[in-house]
Amino acid sequence: MKTVFVVGAGPAGLFAAQKIALGGHEVIVLNRDIKPGGLAEYGIYPTKDKMKNGLRKQFAKVLGLPNVHYLGGVAVSNESALTIPHLREFAPQAMVFAVGAQGTKKLGLPGEDARGVYAAKDFVYHYNSLPPFAAQDFSIGKRVAIVGMGNVMVDIAHWLLVDAPVKTAEDIVVVARRGPFEAKFDVKEFNYIEKYLDRDAFQEELKRIQPLLRAVGQDCANVADDTFPVLNKPADRVSGGRLRFRFLCSPQAIHSDAAGRIDRLTVSENVLYEREGSIGCKATDQTADLDVDTMIFAIGDVADPSVGLPYDRDAYVTNPETADTKGASYEIFDPQGGHALEGIYAVGWARKASDGLVGIARHDGEVGAANVLKYLETAPDGTSISAQELLARLEQKGVQTVNKADLEHLTRAEDQEAQARGVPWHKFGHDDAMLRAIEAQKAKESAV
């Protein structure tokens, strides 16, 4: 029996932990957030209760395994009390990094730091009540640009138009660098917001870009059957904010008002071209200004360099020599030393940022875990730290952690809080509030 640290308790980390634990090894999961689940808890749309609860049950089953230990509230990073060199001192036989894609893709635009400009992930964390984002200012104005045309854009528009407790957004414009045929969202997700689509504005926009689409053999007459089936349905506009699309343009500069908040977005006008069977775009020297007071980038994320793994071109470096037939490699590679970091692996969105749904992250975690199990067959035994000792060492460093029993107390405390408030669910949006709730729940339960 060997010991494996799994860093990150999203779907990829937890399903990797399960497979390694069922292979007969001790697994210690270290997770930045107090609660497990990653984006399944703090990313998936808040009202998708059924899916979220189903996943929570599966995660609880993983954490119920006696040889899976959980330490929540522990970030492994060059910027925190626990770094990768520290983890190495504890001598696990292998480490699996399942930290997701916590880095932000910066576009390097002038004015990018203006108030009212947000990365989608941070905003999604905010409305899903993840500390510290839950308590940060993500004020939304009346005119919102969402950059990107995938499911995350749809989730954000859905939140702003339908479920935000205070709905300020009157005009949401989706800024897309390519055209309507390159929309990446799932139609069933778009159904949630289709009633807000300003159809007249959409038709006007199609008319404007028709000549540019024609240049690559696309015909606006096919948009409804292809990517926007809402156009085949009878119009059923509801009151509230309106949703528009601005195709074939890319953000170029952000301008702000005297208070430092975005008040205008300059975009470059793009043209399309065909590239090995797919459609690419390139900027022209023409620009346009969009009158917006809020801007949210939903263009995918990148790996977080501060974790301390070898990093290149927005991703952790993996060993090209151990890539499988699909080109996927799980073993971390040091490009400077020119060798693999033995026993260190990446899985899920940490390995390939913003890649697909939970099922894909699960599969990736399990394939990565299979690689780890194979490695462990011949890995030297050594003496690794136990979960108990690790806990003591973290306490010495002043790191407060949450264990599996604490999580159960937290779940009950949140359920009772939801009941008391008469709402379907409640999440504490501060780490301190969660820790206090755990202690209060323990006291309450030990008193009966």
Ligand X SMILES: Cc1cc2nc3c(=O)[nH]c(=O)nc-3n(C[C@H](O)[C@H](O)[C@H](O)COP(=O)(O)OP(=O)(O)OC[C@H]3O[C@@H](n4cnc5c(N)ncnc54)[C@H](O)[C@@H]3O)c2cc1C
Is 332 a binding residue for ligand X by CB under 6 A? The answer is no
As a whole number of Å, the end-to-end CA separation of the chain is 40
Q: How far is the C-alpha of 144 from the C-alpha of 157, rounded, in Å?
A: 9
Q: Looking at 4, 6, 8, 134, which residue binds ligand X (CB under 6 A)?
A: 8
Residues between 69 and 108 with contacts to ligand X, criterion CB under 6 A: 75-77, 98-100, 102
Number of residues that bind ligand X (CB under 6 A): 36
Which is closer to ligand X, CB of 136 or CB of 222? 136
Is 155 a binding residue for ligand X by CB under 6 A? The answer is yes
Instruction: Compute the least distance from the CB of residue 373 to ligand X, in Å.
Output: 19
Is 129 a binding residue for ligand X by CB under 6 A? The answer is no
Is 307 a binding residue for ligand X by CB under 6 A? The answer is yes
Which is closer to ligand X, CB of 16 or CB of 248? 16
* Candidate segments 257-265, 313-321, 355-363, 408-416, binder of ligand X by CB under 6 A: 355-363
> Sheet of 294-297: strands edge to edge?
117-119, 294-297, 143-147, 171-175, 242-246
Is 152 a binding residue for ligand X by CB under 6 A? The answer is yes
Is 111 a binding residue for ligand X by CB under 6 A? The answer is no
Query: Which of 289, 292, 297, 298 is closest to 142 using CA atoms?
Result: 292
Is 33 a binding residue for ligand X by CB under 6 A? The answer is yes
Q: Looking at 6, 28, 84, 124, which residue binds ligand X (CB under 6 A)?
A: 124
Is 296 a binding residue for ligand X by CB under 6 A? The answer is no
Is 348 a binding residue for ligand X by CB under 6 A? The answer is yes
Instruction: Compute the least distance from the CB of residue 58 to ligand X, in Å.
Output: 12
Which is closer to ligand X, CB of 51 or CB of 392? 51
The residues that touch ligand X, with contacts defined as CB under 6 A, are: 7-13, 30-33, 38-40, 43-45, 48, 75-77, 98-100, 102, 124, 152, 155, 307, 348-350, 356-358, 361
